[in-house]
Copies of this chain bind each other. A is one copy, B any other.
């Protein structure tokens, strides 16, 4: 519905901000969508949602009644989950673990209708959004490649140059391990990590595509948006809910 407008803004490298959902709880996802983020991502890789959870989540996002669009982080760089997420109504996909330009090109092909891609026709839920010409709906569908492996980092320029790719998306936890960190946020590799963060944003900027990043909070999102990133996602529902429950428990003074 708003997916074309969202895609336009993302491609124009306007600042957009999203929220990351890892649980199969449509009523929660609908509430989050009503908060007013530009997009909500349903995590099909590390999230605890199956096909039905992705579908219900995408419906819930639209039920929110805001312009918020639903994206899916697919479980793998594979045409099947990419096609299913889009047929279920996602406005775009975040594809994990992109190592090479070939990987990125495969992701793009899977998400585009012929003649530019190989997406099979059958937009069962998305159908009403797609006009008579399937290929025209490519304009309303974003494809984002995750940079989070050593190889992906080395090949970031080639990946960013992939025709049809709308943006890259940094997975900081995996990226930190990739640069030698023992755990996400390991201070021993802070320099290498920060250099990678900077390099990726710069490279995307030079390629003229969107530069996105995963963050744990609105504060970090704000910082990244000031460091060359054009979109940032705040993550995640389960973590924030657990943190809230813990904070309230502490506030009772009984623990």
B-contacting residues of A (Cβ < 8 Å)? 1, 15-17, 19, 22-28, 30-32, 34-37, 43, 45-53, 55-56, 59-60, 62-63, 65, 75-76, 78-80, 83-84, 87-88, 96-97, 113-115, 120-125, 128, 132-135, 148, 171, 173-174, 177-178, 182-184, 217-219, 221-222, 225, 232, 234, 237-238, 240-255
Report which of B120, B133, B252 forms a contact with A45, defined as CB distance below 8 A.
B120
A115 partner residues in chain B, CB cutoff 8 A: 177
Beyond A19-B245, A244-B243, A250-B218, whether A182 also contacts B135 by CB under 8 A is: yes
Contacts of A178 in B (CB 8 A): 114
Pairwise interchain contact B27-A23, C-beta atoms closer than 8 A: yes
Residue of B whose beta carbon sits closest to that of A33: B245
Which of A22, A79, A97, A125 is most buried by chain B, counting CB atoms within 10 A of its CB? A125
Residue numbers in B under 8 Å from A243 (CB-CB): 244
A238 touches B121 (CB 8 A): no
Query: Given the complex of chains A and B, what is the CA–CA distance between A37 and B171 in angstroms?
Result: 33
Residue of B with least CB distance to A221: B252
Residues of B within 8 A of A55 (CB): 27, 48
Evaluate contact between B174 and A218: CB separation under 8 angstroms: no
Residues of B within 8 A of A240 (CB): 241, 244-245, 248
Q: For A16, A25, A49, A113, which residue has the most chain B Cβ atoms within 10 angstroms?
A: A25
Q: Give the distance in Å from the alpha carbon of A115 to the alpha carbon of B176 in the complex.
A: 12
Cα–Cα, bound, A52→B242 (Å): 21
Most chain B beta-carbon neighbours within 10 Å: one of A15, A35, A174: A35
B222:A252 contact, CB within 8 angstroms: yes
List of 6 A-B pairs having minimum Cβ-Cβ separation, nearest first: A46-B122, A218-B251, A50-B51, A218-B248, A25-B25, A62-B63
Given A80-B76, A177-B113, A177-B121, A232 contacting B218 (CB threshold 8 A): no
* Smallest Cβ-Cβ distance to A224: which chain B residue: B252
User: A17 contacts which of B19, B125, B249 (Cβ < 8 Å)?
Assistant: B249
Q: How far, in Å, is A116 (CB) from chain B's closest CB?
A: 11
CB–CB B254/A15 < 8 A: yes
A48 near B76: Cβ-Cβ < 8 Å: no
Instruction: Give Cα distance in the complex from A243 to B134, angstroms.
Output: 21
Given the complex, which residues of B lie within 8 Å of A242, measured CB to CB? 31-32, 34-35
Residues from chain B with Cβ under 8 Å of A50 in the complex: 50-52
Q: How far is the CA of A133 from the CA of B183 in the complex (A)?
A: 5
